[in-house]
Structure 1
Amino acid sequence: MPVIVRELVVRANVSENRRDEAGASSLRDQSSREDLIKECVDQVMEILKQKTER
């Protein structure tokens, strides 16, 4: 018998980092964000290239 979920509640607790950790963390976050954006752009360009080849 299948179970149907009609409502999903997600809760999260957010806490601020200490100042000395925040600087290093933001640099890593910025770098990983740029890597993610580059990967997304590469994938979109590959999809567009495939569509134009058809």
Structure 2
Amino acid sequence: MPIEIKELHIKINVNEGSKPSPSPSAPKSKSEDPVAECVEQVMKIMERKKER
């Protein structure tokens, strides 16, 4: 029986006094693309859920 999620609550904390992070348009190396890493992790999670 599949589970349907109707609401998703996300909570974050923002530190106003912290240093700004380096510009996201210039990744350290091509292998460290954060968007590609996130997509890969989401795809892995989806595949694991299909196996259940």
Which TM-score tier does this pair reach, normalised by the shorter chain? Answer: 0.3 to 0.5
Higher RCO (Cα < 8 Å, 6 or more apart): 2
Query: Normalized against structure 2, the TM-score is what?
Result: 0.47
State the TM-score, normalizing by the size of structure 1: 0.45
Higher Cα Rg, which structure:
1
